[in-house]
Amino acid sequence: MAGCMITNEINKKPHGMMADVEQTQIRMSGRCSAFLNERKMDATFGLLTALELLGITTPWLRAAYSRWEKDRYLQIIADSRGMRYAEKHRYGVAYYTMNVPIHRVEVSPGIYCTDPVCTWFMMARFVSLDYLVALGDAILGPNNRLSELGLHYELEDFISYIEEVEQWTADPSHSRKRAPRGIGECRLAIELMRQRVESPQESIVRIDVLMKHGLPEPKINYVVNLENGHTARLDMAYPQWKIAIEYDGKQHEESWEEDNLRRNKLAELGWAIIVVTRADVATPEAQLACAYRIAARIEERTHEPMPVFADGYTTEELAMVVSGKPVRPRKWRRKRGMGKREVA
């Protein structure tokens, strides 16, 4: 669980998710090394293979590409469409041509992959906009292994790469007739990406539960000072109302006592903790119900109506709203029991 953490070290990382990412990274590095040694060739790994080599949590794929998780081919960025595709079944690799500037990094001796921002751009055509945002958050956030590779990225790096792609596309020598697929989604995703997010699930809660339904954007990884020099780091928070939103994922039994201690200490300071689970984000109906629950708690604190958009924004529309562009009006209503009247 990312959750609210009490620690003397504000940047301390949870062990479970990072341990899984590290093991995946080690296994993928071994597979790539074995392939390169057998084939005696230079290669640039990309897409899911690159993400695993970089120690970044992989996103959910669009249904048309869900087979990638099952096939588990090593994914290589080809120099041209003339690469031999017969190697897919013989060596367990798949080649992809990406007509964009290729930036690559050496993740271990002799093993190269596309860098995180280049990989993010390439993934845009294979994931939904929500998960493109979550992937960007993962690259910008603390729960990856990029620092161990000497890599660090800011939002400006993503903007710069998109500008480079646009300039590259406009160059007649590259013989492109249109912008590469996914560039529009990347422009939208940048509007919603944030730093310090600790898990993709937190990204989904922020976007699909809160912001799409008209609730204010929360502070991310907000730090509360406790007694004796301790701090509590909250997944998401509305500090003006002392409301914390905590995503509870897979739990280890031994963490319950610690979680209760954290929440009790925060409650003593007047904080309300709202726990969001996997079930709360599983369907649009569940997300709306969760948004109502959070809005009700805000109303308890403010004694004022908190509008909830029952007909929520799409992710594309939300990105436009955040960037200040107009979208069609949304209806909002107050759930029965939240106030004296319900607005359709």
- Which pTM does this prediction carry? 0.87
Crossing angle for the helix pair 129-140 and 183-192, to the nearest 10 degrees: 60
Percent of the chain with pLDDT over 90: 67
CATH of 200-322, one of 3.30.310, 1.10.150, 3.40.50, 3.40.960: 3.40.960
Q: What angle do CA 297, 286, 205 make, to 5 degrees?
A: 65
> Could you tell me how many helices (H) and strands (E) the chain has, helices first?
12, 10
DSSP codes joined into one string, 204-245: HIIIIIIGGGTPPPPEEEEEEE-GGG-EEEEEEEETTTTEEE
Contact residues for 85 (Cβ-Cβ < 8 A; gap 6+): 94, 95
The Cα–Cα gap between 49 and 119 comes to 10
- Domain chopping of the chain, boundaries: 5-192, 200-322
The label of the residue with tokens 């969760």 reads 290
**Residue 175 pLDDT greater than 90, yes or no:** no
The Cα–Cα gap between 150 and 181 comes to 30
pLDDT digits (tens, 9 = 90+) for 77-134: 987 655 555 566 567 899 998 989 999 999 999 999 999 999 999 999 999 999 999 9
**Residue 339 pLDDT greater than 70, yes or no:** no
Task: Give the highest mean pLDDT range of 39-48, 75-84, 174-183, 323-332.
Answer: 39-48
- Contact yes or no for 75/45 (Cβ under 8 A): yes
**Residue 253 pLDDT greater than 80, yes or no:** no
Look at phi and psi of residue 337 and say left if phi exceeds 0, alpha if psi is from -120 to 50, else beta. left
Count of residues in the chain: 344
Per-residue pLDDT band at 70 (split at 50, 70, 90): confident
**Residue 177 pLDDT greater than 70, yes or no:** no
Q: Which of 28-32, 47-51, 257-261, 339-343 has the lowest mean pLDDT?
A: 339-343
**Residue 165 pLDDT greater than 50, yes or no:** yes
Contact residues for 182 (Cβ-Cβ < 8 A; gap 6+): 121, 122, 123, 124, 125
pLDDT at site 210 = 98
pLDDT digits (tens, 9 = 90+) for 278-316: 999 999 999 999 999 999 999 999 999 999 999 899 999
User: For residue 250, how many other CB atoms are within 10 A of its CB?
Assistant: 8
Instruction: Name the burial class of residue 186, with classes exposed (0-12), middle (13-18) and buried (19+) by CB atoms within 10 angstroms of its CB.
Output: buried
pLDDT at site 344 = 34
